[in-house]
Structure 1
Amino acid sequence: MNAQVLNLVAALGVMQYSKRLDFEDPQIVYYARAAYVVSNAIIFGIYTIIQTRISSNNDRTPLIYEEPAAPFSGQSAGKHVSTTVKDYDTEQLQKAKKSSMIGVAMMAFMHLYMGYAQPLVLQSILPLISLFTNQLTSIYILGKAAEGSLARPFAAGGGPFSNANKSAPAAPAASSSTPAAAVSDGPTITELNDEEKTA
């Protein structure tokens, strides 16, 4: 099932269930808080495992692509990005951590300052669904190959580690003076494919 559809179905189900709960009952609020804390402990624990595996793999394969301009930025041209798989995955993970911490801060404000308890239930479920349907979790936790929908740069809509837009791969380098050669530790994916065609 598509991650967005799964999130929508889960949100509707959890919202319907939470309407039956009495959030005036201190015990219900306690369990909602506990579920939220456990959920975030799992999320940040998975982040830690992914970070460890990114560092352990130390994949220096060159990754070159065009990053589209951000929506409403007023820029028509995208940005040329030349990096490695390790650095790209680390960047995506840092974005996910930042997003999760902002979410925790907002939830703390809503619950502790404004007194809302019902969102605790929803925010205990949806971030976990997003975590286990994103690309880095699929690659580093579930052991899936980084191809197809898991190919880097990641497409939009795959979860908290996704870019805002799908980034188009750049054209292969024409000479050794290009950025591709500057970061290359070996043949790029494009070069390997060309060699297979001519073999």
Structure 2
Amino acid sequence: MNSQIMNMALVMGSMQITNRLDLEDTKTKQLILGAYVTAQALVLGISYLIKRRILAKKDTTVLKYLDQPKPLSGEQPKLITTTVMAYDLEQNAQAQKQALIGLALMVFLHFQFGVIRPLVVQSILPVKNALQSKWAQVHLFGKPAEGELKRPWKADNPFAALAGGQEPQSEAAEKAAIKKAEKAEAKATGKSESKKDL
């Protein structure tokens, strides 16, 4: 099942559960808040465990990829040269940052405005997403970084399937694009160095 469809089903299911709960009852509120805090602690624990596994592997294999610019920015793709370990740590850190931002937002909404309903959904979705993330699949579940799990990891686009999304580049086309970017970068570096010499 598509991850976005599953997320939608979880949201709808949790809304049905929430509708059957007495949200004015103090004990119910405390249980929901406790479940939310536990879920967030679990997400951060998963992230920490992944970080430890990445550091333990110390995979210094060179990774080159094109960082695609934001749509309609008019910028060219930028060549990124890094290591597998640095890339994986960066992806995990970004996920951790998003989790902390989400946590801060929900805590603010709950304590400032008494919002309780979204806490039910946010007790389920972040854990599911953390366990289904590509870095968790590779580092927690030991799946090989091939096919869908091949680096660089593409963000799931919920609208790609509906819009008849772009086909991913073939490996040969991707390598050709990287070589082209390397040549352009070398040419630009050579020009800037020759200007310095003048």
Report the TM-score range of the alignment, normalised by the length of the smaller protein. 0.7 to 0.9
- Structure 2 unmatched ranges of 5 or more: 159-167, 186-198
State the match for 1:149 in structure 2. Answer: 148
Are the structure 2 counterparts of residues 148 and 56 from structure 1 closer, same or farther at C-alpha, using a change threshold of 3 Å?
same
Deviation at 1:56, TM superposition (A): 0.6
The answer to whether the Cα contact below 8 Å between 1:50 and 1:136 also exists between their aligned partners in 2 is yes
Matching of residues 30-179 of structure 1 within 5 Å: 30-72=30-72, 74-157=73-156, 169-171=174-176
TM-score by length of 1: 0.79
1:41 alignment partner AA: A
Deviation at 1:4, TM superposition (A): 1.1
SS across alignment from 2:156: coil
Deviation at 1:76, TM superposition (A): 3.2
Deviation at 1:75, TM superposition (A): 2.8
Count residues with an aligned counterpart: 173
Are the structure 2 counterparts of residues 93 and 145 from structure 1 closer, same or farther at C-alpha, using a change threshold of 3 Å?
same
Deviation at 1:178, TM superposition (A): 9.9
Deviation at 1:79, TM superposition (A): 1.2
1:110 alignment partner AA: L
Q: Greater helix share, 1 or 2? A: 2
Deviation at 1:170, TM superposition (A): 4.3
Larger radius of gyration: 2
1:14-42 deviation digits (Å, cap 9, x = unpaired): 11111111110000000001100110111
1:84 alignment partner AA: T
Report the Cα distance in structure 1 between the residues aligned to 2:123 and 2:31, rounded to whole angstroms: 11
State the match for 2:12 in structure 1. Answer: 12
Are the structure 2 counterparts of residues 71 and 55 from structure 1 closer, same or farther at C-alpha, using a change threshold of 3 Å?
same
Are the structure 2 counterparts of residues 108 and 144 from structure 1 closer, same or farther at C-alpha, using a change threshold of 3 Å?
same
The answer to whether the Cα contact below 8 Å between 1:10 and 1:126 also exists between their aligned partners in 2 is yes
SS across alignment from 1:83: strand
CA RMSD after TM alignment: 2.7
TM-score by length of 2: 0.79
SS across alignment from 1:64: strand
Runs (4+) of structure 1 moved beyond 2 Å?
A: 166-174
State the match for 1:195 in structure 2. Answer: none
